[in-house]
Structure 1
Amino acid sequence: MAKKTIEDIEWQGKRALVRVDFNVPMNDAGEITDDTRIRAALPTITYLKEHGARVILMSHLGRPKGERNDKYSLRPVAEHLQGLLGEGHVSFVDDCIGEKVKEAVAALHEGDVLLLENVRFYAGEEKNRADLAEALAELGDVFVNDAFGTAHRAHASTAGVADYLPSVAGYLMEKEVGIMGEALASPKRPFVAIIGGAKVSDKIQVIENLLPKVDALLIGGGMANTFLAVQGYDMAKSLVEADALETAGKLLELAKQHGSRLLLPTDVIAAKAFAADAEHAVRQVNEIEADEMALDIGPDSIALYQKEIKSAKTVIWNGPMGVFEMPAFAKGTFAIAQAMVEADATTIVGGGDSVAAVEQAGVASKMSHVSTGGGASLEFLEGKALPGVEAIADK
């Protein structure tokens, strides 16, 4: 990664203003139900503490729409973080700018950690207002961006602050950009990408960006129906994007132009209804009955895709193969996850549903990298510049 990182700074006595992504799920009782994102920030926080920095953390939580809302307070996160760090003092202040916050920062000792209140309590955050960015910047000596999950947003706390402070990447940001960047720029081959999800229209730019780079692109999920429909298959009651048929045809042609193999399911699990207990059967793609819809890839397709994955040296996966939330239609998605575990390859999982699938399958820890950023990883795979990354100083 050609950006400066926390290891390029002498931290002793400095105030590290760190953008983390603590946008974690909570239940109605305000209890954190999944602390993956908090744990992902621990290496950066620990490094800064051990090197004598005073650590000031800022994050958003939920969508309070620019207004104070206790439902979205980060106070429970501060308490949880204290438990994870164990030693040292983690404090919390119920604002993110102003005199009260400056006093809390001034009271910090080297190695202390302070978590600011939700930056999205201010409308200027999402509008990237200069006055909010400048007020936040006054709290630190160096800006550390470790929030890859929000790197695709040009907000005051992700990009604006970098206009006023020297900026570096934290370990999580460095890892996310480094692993995915290398996979896209100089992958070990064969390079296989697996793209799923409901709609072609959601992944057009990802597919366009990947086709010149990959040796094989495996398509699954609802979007496969649209590709099959444009080839003349009757997909019956399956989800087909009528207004994306032309696009799907162009992508098939693009694959031919680049010499990339774009693979589609040869069989599916077809059901009579979109329901967990729906009657279902394996159907070849040319044999789907008039009252059926495709809700997963079938066993022949699983075998075909597993063979491709297991022969690969680099695998990127974004999007499930079917409606994996329903057990009857989860086999394709979980089989892809297992094939990636068994592959002698760099395996990268990006996108909310794919991440949920590997966690549900119990194999997340066996992947080379599971991205913490849903929208950010998608835009990265599309080849877009991410404002939060662009704002970090070059080496």
Structure 2
Amino acid sequence: MTFRTLDDARDLAGKTALVRVDFNVPMEDGRVTDDTRLRVALPTINRLREAGAKVALLAHFDRPKGKVVPSMSLRYIVDELCEVLAAPVQFAEDCVGDAARAALAELPLGGVVLLENVRFHAGEEANDPAFAAQLAELGDVYVNDAFSAAHRAHASTEGLARLLPAYAGESMRRELDALDAALGKPQKPVIGIVGGAKVSTKLDLLKNLVSQLDRLAIGGGMANTFLFAQGIDIGGSLAEKDMADTARAIMAEAKTQGCELLLPVDMVVATEVRPGVAARTVRAGDALSGDDKILDAGPETVARLAAAMDASKTLIWNGPLGVFEVPPFDAATVAAATHAADLTRAGKLVAVAGGGDTVSALNHAGVSDDMTFVSTAGGAFLEWMEGKPLPGVEALRTQ
């Protein structure tokens, strides 16, 4: 892809690299409960250290809204970062000004310093040029390794990239390569799976995908809206009935674009959502009671989806097919995910997934490591799928 990466950087020895990372990690009682986002940054940090650069890490934590909130300080993750990096990590009490300059002056070549929460300054989220300039004063090069924050035009994600030689880090590069393989220049045919609760939250996504894909399977609560729009009885299921016209318009656009829309042909229903509840499988069009709720796709729908995957070369997946958190309504998601993983391991499918509950669903199915790429980026992943430019990525594009 046409983005500057660390392969394009020259003579990093003795320079200070300002590296935007995503360290917005889950915390409990002052301790990191999941270090995934710390580990994701290691390849970039280590590559810069080995090149002889000073590494200054820029990150946000939570939403302090431009004020210093002690409980949202990044100092609480320093010990965990030292542990995963297996090297000392210094901490600076601020991300700009005297404290940051002093920390960098004392840092040896190959050393790492974590600068305080950039969102303690109102200029960060405002993408204030003056604040971006204060950040830029600290370094010689800028590296963005936080794809998950790339959809925000903030000072540390977009403004700073305009002021220094800017490159994508290793994690960012991997994400961009995977997304290019899924939607940019994919092997065709391409199938998409989109699940989730509401059509209204994924309108832009659906409209973009029907113009990009050969097949699109819709599951989860949003499939109920499409079934309702076709006059199919959905009982007391979750649905956005006021979106019926929109659903019909999407179906019409899919037909115009030559995108085959795969909706459930059978469903698993129950009167309540709890583990082990009595459930039954019904066909689309069967009469349902007002207490019946569609909570998962049925086995025939899964078999149809598996056959569609067999006929495809690329899969892009966002959202579960049912209420996977509550067995037995995880069956369709697990079966579809397992089939996708089998095809991927066999080299028959490029499978890229991410956004929303997708990561949790694939972890639940035990197949995350078998997919080609699983993005944890959330909003940025969705906006990319919607076809929207991401400010933090565009700032890295080669001219």
Same fold (TM over 0.5): yes
Aligned partner of 2:83 in structure 1 is: 83
Return the letter of the residue paired with 1:361: A
Deviations 1:48-85 (A, max 9, x none): 11111100001111122222223222123221121112
Aligned partner of 1:21 in structure 2 is: 22
Deviations 1:254-275 (A, max 9, x none): 1111111100011111121244
Aligned partner of 1:5 in structure 2 is: 5
Matched, 1:44 2:48: no
Return the letter of the residue paired with 1:339: H
Residue pairs, 1:129-148, within 5 angstroms: 129-148=128-147
Cα distance in 2 between the residues matched to 1:359 and 1:328: 16
Aligned partner of 1:301 in structure 2 is: 301
Aligned partner of 1:180 in structure 2 is: 179
TM-score by length of 1: 0.96
Aligned partner of 1:68 in structure 2 is: 68
Q: Which runs of 5+ in 2 are unaligned?
A: none
1:297, distance to aligned residue in structure 2 (A): 0.8
1:278, distance to aligned residue in structure 2 (A): 4.1
1:393, distance to aligned residue in structure 2 (A): 4.5
Report the number of matched residues. Answer: 393
Give 3-state SS (helix, strand or coil) of 1:328's partner.
coil
Matched, 1:345 2:349: yes
Residue pairs, 1:244-323, within 5 angstroms: 244-276=243-275, 278-287=277-286, 288-323=288-323
Aligned partner of 2:389 in structure 1 is: 385
Q: Over aligned residue pairs, what C-alpha RMSD do you find?
A: 1.4
Cα distance in 1 between the residues matched to 2:364 and 2:31: 20
Return the letter of the residue paired with 2:389: A
- 1:195 touches 1:217 (CA, 8 Å); kept in 2? yes
Give 3-state SS (helix, strand or coil) of 2:322's partner.
coil
Q: Which runs of 5+ in 1 are unaligned?
A: none
1:238, distance to aligned residue in structure 2 (A): 0.7
Change (3 A) 1:77 1:310: farther
Deviations 1:106-154 (A, max 9, x none): 1111110111111111222111112221111111111111100000000
- 1:61 touches 1:74 (CA, 8 Å); kept in 2? yes
Cα distance in 1 between the residues matched to 2:253 and 2:126: 37
Give 3-state SS (helix, strand or coil) of 1:237's partner.
coil
Aligned partner of 1:57 in structure 2 is: 57
- 1:15 touches 1:54 (CA, 8 Å); kept in 2? yes
Cα distance in 2 between the residues matched to 1:185 and 1:143: 26
Change (3 A) 1:275 1:123: farther
Return the letter of the residue paired with 1:260: C
Deviations 1:326-347 (A, max 9, x none): 1221111122211110112111
Return the letter of the residue paired with 2:76: P
Return the letter of the residue paired with 1:255: A
Return the letter of the residue paired with 1:338: T
- 2:323 touches 2:329 (CA, 8 Å); kept in 1? yes
Aligned partner of 2:363 in structure 1 is: 359
Return the letter of the residue paired with 1:181: D
Give 3-state SS (helix, strand or coil) of 1:3's partner.
coil
Deviations 1:204-258 (A, max 9, x none): 1112111122121111000000100111101111111122111100110011111
1:182, distance to aligned residue in structure 2 (A): 3.1
Change (3 A) 1:225 1:318: same
- 2:180 touches 2:186 (CA, 8 Å); kept in 1? no
Give 3-state SS (helix, strand or coil) of 1:203's partner.
helix
Give 3-state SS (helix, strand or coil) of 2:157's partner.
coil
- 1:167 touches 1:393 (CA, 8 Å); kept in 2? no
- 1:137 touches 1:165 (CA, 8 Å); kept in 2? yes
Residue pairs, 1:216-231, within 5 angstroms: 216-231=215-230
TM-score by length of 2: 0.95
Give 3-state SS (helix, strand or coil) of 1:202's partner.
helix
1:279, distance to aligned residue in structure 2 (A): 3.6
- 1:193 touches 1:315 (CA, 8 Å); kept in 2? yes
Aligned partner of 2:335 in structure 1 is: 335
Matched, 1:326 2:326: yes
1:388, distance to aligned residue in structure 2 (A): 0.4
Give 3-state SS (helix, strand or coil) of 2:14's partner.
coil
User: Structure 1 vs Structure 2: percent identity of aligned residues?
Assistant: 48
Cα distance in 1 between the residues matched to 2:74 and 2:376: 19
- 1:348 touches 1:368 (CA, 8 Å); kept in 2? yes
Cα distance in 2 between the residues matched to 1:76 and 1:83: 13
Residue pairs, 1:175-214, within 5 angstroms: 175-214=174-213
